[in-house]
A and B are shown apart, each in its own frame.
Chain A
Amino acid sequence: MRSSYTAVVERNVTVRGVFTSEPYECGWAGEAVVFVRSLAGSLSGTHARVQISPDGMSWCDHGTEFALPAEGTVTACLVTHFGNWLRIAADTGNREATIIVTLQLKE
């Protein structure tokens, strides 16, 4: 049976402007789905970039981007070949929302 795990890496966090999620170590997983859910506020028109790292401290773009959610909705992207570390980075400008960021990881 394949291992899978859901990690809530940000919960009830209000973002505005430049934002990065906390680093998450998940080298055991071969694939990830990154979800961003808006609890309040809209980030429509802005995007997040998936980022990877050799050490959990230095980060670069993975090459995957996805739209951030409107109020009360959820958006997602699919990621593979991310090595050992994952996070997302975004600049939401003047848009503000309270969000949950979830990684669904699968072997």
Chain B
Amino acid sequence: MTHESAAPGLSKFDPLPRIIFADDFDAGINGWTELIGNYEDTLDSVLEPYRDHRPPQLSTLSMWDTGSVGSLEGMYALKVATRPKKGHQAVTIKRTTFRRASPIRVETFFTFKPEAAELRLGDQTPRSFGFLFDLQDDTERVMPHIRYLNSLDGELQQKWQFKRERAPFSQIGGSGKTVSHYHLSPEGWEDIPNGGQKLCYNEIATKHNWHYLRLDFDLESMRFLFFQCNDRIFDVTGLDSIRNPAMPNLWCMLNVAFFVEADADRRVFGYLDSVVLSGDF
């Protein structure tokens, strides 16, 4: 039986033979939660940028002028929403582990928009939409990061970037067992070669078009394999990830996260219709 005949909703994806998870948000939150920084004894010990990444929401993309959009397929999408504050990031994460160091593939249909609080296009309001893996094998913690830099300080950028620069670790609390590093910091992003892409933003803030995204990554070599958004394929094989020595409690970690960032003092919303993670085993 093919994946498509077993689950017709999968026919819009190109998964590898093993479906690790296929999350349709019409069926609920599916393990996607808010990212929070590490802490000991008090929440005050969380690194400041990690304190408020916002809980995900099951959204019908409800608009003031035309009502509910719904998701690409069905009623609900997973929504991550920033505060109305320039530079604020909302991050949702799903945490699992891997059983085979194989190639993996994450696919999603996504869109992003500012809150329609002004009757203007608002295309420069979302700073970025992005995603990351957080992985660990026997020797290294590896964190592939990719983002679509839509706008920076009010200027459209419309290009894909990656990150390999390590953020410094901070000791958290007094036990000596907890550290934290802000890997989503604004610093250290680099352009993906030939990574420019104009996405279909549409003509007002309350119209949404869904975009297809696919990233392949090899858990054995810990290298990028393939990256696609809509009709564009980007060569990521020469790119690297954030790498650190293996950490004590993260063996076989396989985390996937999506984030959205505001470039103005307005809320920005990132939406996921569905997410499929598959493996070649």
For the complex, count residues of B whose C-beta is within 8 A of A: 25
| A56 interfacial by beta-carbon distance below 8 Å | yes
For the complex, count residues of A whose C-beta is within 8 A of B: 22
| A12 interfacial by beta-carbon distance below 8 Å | yes
Known contacts: A11-B52, A12-B51, A57-B115. The answer to whether A26 contacts B64 by CB under 8 A is no
How many Cβ-Cβ contacts under 8 Å join chain A to chain B?
51
Q: Which residues of A contact B81 (CB under 8 A)?
A: 22-23
Contact present for B60 and A3 (CB under 8 Å): no
| A19 interfacial by beta-carbon distance below 8 Å | no
Of chain B, the residue at the smallest CB distance from A107 is: B28
Q: Which residues of B contact A7 (CB under 8 A)?
A: 55, 57
Contact present for A24 and B55 (CB under 8 Å): yes
Among A11, A22, A25, contact of B58 (Cβ-Cβ < 8 Å): A25
CB-CB contacts of A26-64 with B at 8 A, as 1s and 0s?
111000000000010000000000000011111000000
Contact present for A26 and B117 (CB under 8 Å): no
Contact present for B64 and A55 (CB under 8 Å): yes
CB-CB contacts of A76-93 with B at 8 A, as 1s and 0s?
000000001100000000
A-B pairs with beta carbons under 8 Å apart, 21 shown: A5-B29, A7-B57, A9-B55, A11-B43, A12-B43, A12-B44, A22-B54, A22-B81, A22-B83, A24-B55, A24-B57, A25-B57, A25-B59, A25-B60, A54-B64, A55-B64, A55-B116, A56-B115, A57-B115, A58-B64, A85-B62
Among B62, B115, B116, contact of A84 (Cβ-Cβ < 8 Å): B62
Q: Which residues of B contact A25 (CB under 8 A)?
A: 57-60, 62, 79
Of chain A, the residue at the smallest CB distance from B76 is: A28
Known contacts: A5-B29, A12-B43, A22-B83. The answer to whether A27 contacts B115 by CB under 8 A is no
CB-CB contacts of B22-63 with A at 8 A, as 1s and 0s?
000000110000100000000110100001101101111011
Q: Which residues of A contact B116 (CB under 8 A)?
A: 55, 57
Q: In the complex, A5 Cα to B64 Cα: how many Å?
A: 25
Shortest distance from the beta carbon of B207 to any chain A beta carbon, whole Å: 15
Q: In the complex, A55 Cα to B69 Cα: how many Å?
A: 12
Contact present for A57 and B34 (CB under 8 Å): no
B99-144 contacts to A, CB under 8 A, are 115-117
Contact present for B117 and A84 (CB under 8 Å): no
Contact present for B62 and A55 (CB under 8 Å): yes
Of chain A, the residue at the smallest CB distance from B26 is: A28
Shortest distance from the beta carbon of A25 to any chain B beta carbon, whole Å: 4
Contact present for A8 and B43 (CB under 8 Å): no
Q: In the complex, A77 Cα to B76 Cα: how many Å?
A: 27
Among A3, A24, A54, contact of B28 (Cβ-Cβ < 8 Å): A3
Q: In the complex, A54 Cα to B62 Cα: how many Å?
A: 9
